[in-house]
Every structure is written in C-alpha cells, then in structure tokens.
C-alpha cells in the first residue's frame, strides 16, 4: 500500500512532516519519503488533508470491570478496588462470564474507535479470566498484551512471616503463563518477599502496581519496614504502574532497574489521590507511558488522558510543558516500556497508526500539531485506524 500526500508525525521525536508518502508492506512501514512510485497493481491512496500519527498505546487497563462503571463513586480507594475485599473484586466474582464478555467487548470497540491500537490489561480471575479475555478478543482486531494474575493474596501476618509461594499454586502459575503474555501483580502489600522473588523468576513480561496511594506506602512501611517501591522492585518488574507517591530516591532506583513507569493520572484523580509528578519522574530518568486504568472508574480514552495530564500538571506547577512530551507518553514511550516495535512511525516498525482529519472542526487551523492532538482532538477527528498495515476502523 502506498499512502500519498499525507502529513506525518515521524520518528522518535514525532517530527512534523507537512507532506510525504508512506509505503506499507508486510504490516510494517517500509519507506517514508516524498518521492515514491507505486509498484504495478499496488494500492495507492491520496491522503491530502490527513495527518498520520502513531497509534495510541494504552499501557495499563483493567477492562474486566467494564460492567461496574461508576458504581462506587463515594467509596474509599480500598472499598473500590482492593483485590481482596473491594467492590470491584465482588462484582467480578458475582457476574457471569457472559455478561462480563459483553461489556469487555464494548470497551475494546470503544478503544479502537478512539485510536488505541494496543492495550495492556492486568487481567484478574486467574486462568479463566485470561481465557475469557482472549475469547472476547478473538474477533476484534485490536492489539493486546494480557498480563494474568492468580487469585492469590497474602495477609499482613503471612507477609511478616515471609511465607513462600505455595507449592500447590506452582502448576496454576505455569498454566496461566502459557496462555498470556506475562503477569500483572496487584502490589507488594499483598505478597511476601519470598512470593515476589518467586514471581521474579518467571520469564515473561512482569509488571506490578506500586506507590499508588499514601495509604499503600504507609502499609508497606508498617508491615515490613521497607519502601513499597523497593519491595515491588524485588520482583524485577519490566515496568511499574502508578508511582504517584514514590519518593525521589525510589524513582531514581526505578529508572535504573525497570524499562519505565506507566502512569494513570485521571484514575488517580478519580480516586481523589492526586496525580503523578511527571517533572520529578522525568528528572529521575524515568520513561513514562500512559494508561487509563480501571474502566469502572475511568473511560478508556487517551485523548482525555493526555489533555488532563497536560493541563493539570501545568496548573499545579505553574510552568509550561511541551505537549509533544505528553503525546510521546501515549505513543513512543509505550513502545519503549514494552520493548516492542509499536507507537512510532519509522522504517521497519509495525504499521499501527491513526489517520486524523486536519480539517476537522476542532482542529483547523492546526498551528501546533502536537498541542492540537493533546488537547483539541477527539474521536470525531479520526478518519481511520490502522493496525498491522490494515484498516480496522473507518476508511481513507
């Protein structure tokens, strides 16, 4: 396929190219330059008036709770989402798989229409939960990374005693990992050092929530005398999620020992827990990606995530932030954190991208493309979404 006369946000710095041609071959970007001639019988499409940007990577979701939208608005964080006794866990356990499937499928279609080409899901429910999500995705062309989780959590007394991972759960963990892309652990406060060490030896992708709330940090110190983040890092995770209240030293250590941090600013705010300090995180050397977190408390919309993070951060710190840095978190950085060839328009990378209408009512005239995308664009500006070189939503 040859896409002609299109504007592009190209490369690792999302450089704006006013007009060029893009050749897509074998699901990747083959060549990006202004003078390319189509081969005989090659599909050629004139995309004058469109802007091609990398597909969004929603690097942290829980789509299983799509059925429980806004049912716990006035509850505390633990009352809402604690993995052992929160409302979310009760909803998931008491809802049929058929009903869960319907609303998970709706969420996947919603993400596609909003330009999310890849999502990373922390999937609850053990092996059955992973199998259910894979079934849901069987006829939806969105790219997924499923991080499964055993329904195994330890109490404070067990953590203090450093009780090991149960031998009768080893085969369950092996079976789970055979069916998914890795593990997504609830947090260090539900696992002993021995259990976290056991998880660290798994060979697939590893991720864990950490330092999301002041209460979780306090609990870690009270139970173990150690920083929650340092305990989470003992799992050797490829990335951490949240880190909203991590200390400067914890962030510096995380930058050295992980591929990055996935932040979820709207979800943190929905829980009345503040937002992550992205300036401190970046100064510590952290690579930051964006996620929308629980569908129960937040919509899976990266446009809204970027807009909120950009303006809230500038409002709090009273200083300007380049909107390009925010857009990178939704695209380029997601690929870096996951170590995958996605989230970037560059030769040899996977052709996941969004076609935006530059003449959309909310975007024209587009004087600063990065700012326009971060705080003016929405689903209505999307002409088409491409995953792996194929149009999966809309048309061009």
Strand partners, 290: 263
Q: What does the pLDDT read at residue 67?
A: 83
* Final residue belonging to a domain, choices 291, 322, 338: 338
Q: What is the mean pLDDT of the chain?
A: 94
Q: Are residues 349 and 370 in the same domain?
A: yes
Cα 134 from Cα 146, distance rounded (Å): 9
Q: Are residues 26 and 62 in the same domain?
A: no
Q: How far, in whole angstroms, is CA 250 from its chain's centroid?
A: 21
β-pair type (353-357, 50-54): antiparallel
Of 154, 139, 220, nearest in space to 185 by CA: 154
CATH number at residue 37: 2.30.40.10
Cα 11 from Cα 327, distance rounded (Å): 13
Q: Are residues 379 and 261 in the same domain?
A: no
Q: Are residues 284 and 363 in the same domain?
A: no
> What are the E-state strand segments in 178-266?
182-185, 205-210, 239-242, 261-263
The answer on pLDDT for 66 being more than 80 is yes
Q: pTM (2 decimals)?
A: 0.95
Q: Are residues 301 and 384 in the same domain?
A: no
How do residues 67-120 score in pLDDT, each as one tens digit?
A: 877 777 666 666 656 666 666 666 767 777 888 899 999 999 999 999 999 999
Q: Are residues 318 and 184 in the same domain?
A: yes
Q: What does the pLDDT read at residue 81?
A: 63
Q: How far, in whole angstroms, is CA 51 from its chain's centroid?
A: 23
Q: Are residues 196 and 88 in the same domain?
A: yes
The edge-to-edge listing of strands for the beta sheet with 293-294 is 288-290, 261-263, 239-242, 205-210, 182-185, 143-148, 116-123, 56-62, 293-294
The answer on pLDDT for 383 being more than 90 is yes
The answer on pLDDT for 168 being more than 70 is yes
Q: Are residues 273 and 256 in the same domain?
A: yes
The answer on pLDDT for 189 being more than 70 is yes
Cα 386 from Cα 311, distance rounded (Å): 29
Q: Are residues 122 and 232 in the same domain?
A: yes
Angle between the N-to-C axes of helices 126-136 and 170-179, in degrees from 0 to 180, rounded to the nearest 10: 10
Cα 195 from Cα 170, distance rounded (Å): 11
Q: Are residues 40 and 138 in the same domain?
A: no
CATH number at residue 168: 3.20.20.140
- Any idea which residue has 């809802």 for tokens? 95
Of 322, 375, 363, 389, nearest in space to 50 by CA: 363
Q: Are residues 157 and 273 in the same domain?
A: yes
Poorest-pLDDT segment among 83-97, 121-135, 148-162, 329-343: 83-97
Eight-class DSSP state of 21: E
- Helix (H, G, I), strand (E, B), or coil: what is residue 335? helix
Q: What b/e sequence results for 326-354 when a residue is b if at least 16 CB atoms lie within 10 Å of its CB, and e otherwise? A: bbbbbbbbbbbbbebebbbbbeebbbbbb
Q: Are residues 85 and 221 in the same domain?
A: yes
* Final residue belonging to a domain, choices 304, 322, 338: 338
- Domains in the chain, number: 2
Which residues, 6 or more positions from 271, have their beta carbon under 8 angstroms from its beta carbon? Answer: 77, 80, 81, 213, 297
The answer on pLDDT for 327 being more than 80 is yes
Q: What does the pLDDT read at residue 86?
A: 62
**Enclosing domain of residue 65:** 56-338
Give mean pLDDT, residues 310-338. Answer: 97
* Final residue belonging to a domain, choices 323, 338, 353: 338
């Amino acid at each position: 396929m040859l896409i002609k006369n299109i504007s592009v946000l190209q490369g690792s710095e999302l450089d704006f190219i006013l007009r060029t041609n893009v050749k897509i071959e074998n699901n990747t970007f083959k060549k990006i330059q202004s003078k390319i001639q189509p081969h005989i019988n090659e599909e050629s499409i004139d995309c004058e008036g469109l802007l091609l940007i990398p597909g969004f990577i929603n690097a942290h979701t829980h789509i299983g709770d799509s059925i429980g939208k806004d049912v716990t608005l006035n509850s505390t964080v633990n009352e809402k989402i604690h993995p052992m006794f929160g409302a979310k866990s009760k909803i998931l356990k008491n809802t049929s798989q058929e009903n869960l499937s319907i609303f998970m499928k709706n969420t996947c279609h919603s993400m596609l229409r909003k330009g999310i080409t890849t999502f990373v899901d922390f999937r609850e429910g053990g092996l059955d939960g992973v199998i259910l999500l894979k079934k849901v995705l069987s006829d939806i062309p969105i790219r997924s990374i499923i991080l499964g989780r055993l329904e195994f959590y330890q109490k404070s007394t067990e953590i203090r005693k450093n009780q090991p991972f149960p031998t009768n759960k080893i085969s369950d963990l092996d079976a789970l990992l055979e069916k998914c892309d890795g593990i997504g652990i609830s947090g260090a406060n539900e696992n002993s050092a021995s259990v976290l060490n056991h998880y660290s030896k798994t060979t697939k992708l590893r991720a864990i929530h950490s330092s999301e709330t002041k209460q979780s940090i306090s609990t870690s110190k009270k139970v173990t005398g150690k920083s929650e983040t340092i305990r989470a890092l003992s799992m050797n995770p490829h990335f951490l999620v949240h880190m909203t209240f991590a200390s400067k030293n914890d962030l510096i250590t995380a930058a050295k020992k992980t591929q990055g941090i996935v932040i979820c600013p709207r979800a943190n705010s929905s829980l009345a827990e503040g937002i992550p300090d992205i300036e401190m995180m970046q100064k510590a050397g952290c690579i930051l990606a964006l996620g929308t977190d629980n569908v129960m408390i937040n919509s899976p919309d990266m446009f809204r995530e970027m807009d909120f993070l950009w303006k809230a951060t500038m409002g709090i710190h009273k200083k300007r932030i380049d909107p390009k840095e925010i857009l990178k978190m939704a695209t380029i950085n997601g690929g870096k954190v996951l170590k995958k060839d996605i989230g970037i328009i560059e030769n040899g990378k996977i052709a996941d991208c969004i076609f935006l209408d530059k003449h959309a009512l909310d975007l024209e005239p587009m004087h600063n493309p990065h700012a326009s995308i971060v705080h003016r664009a929405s689903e209505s500006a999307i002409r088409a979404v491409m995953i792996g070189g194929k149009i999966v939503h809309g048309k061009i």
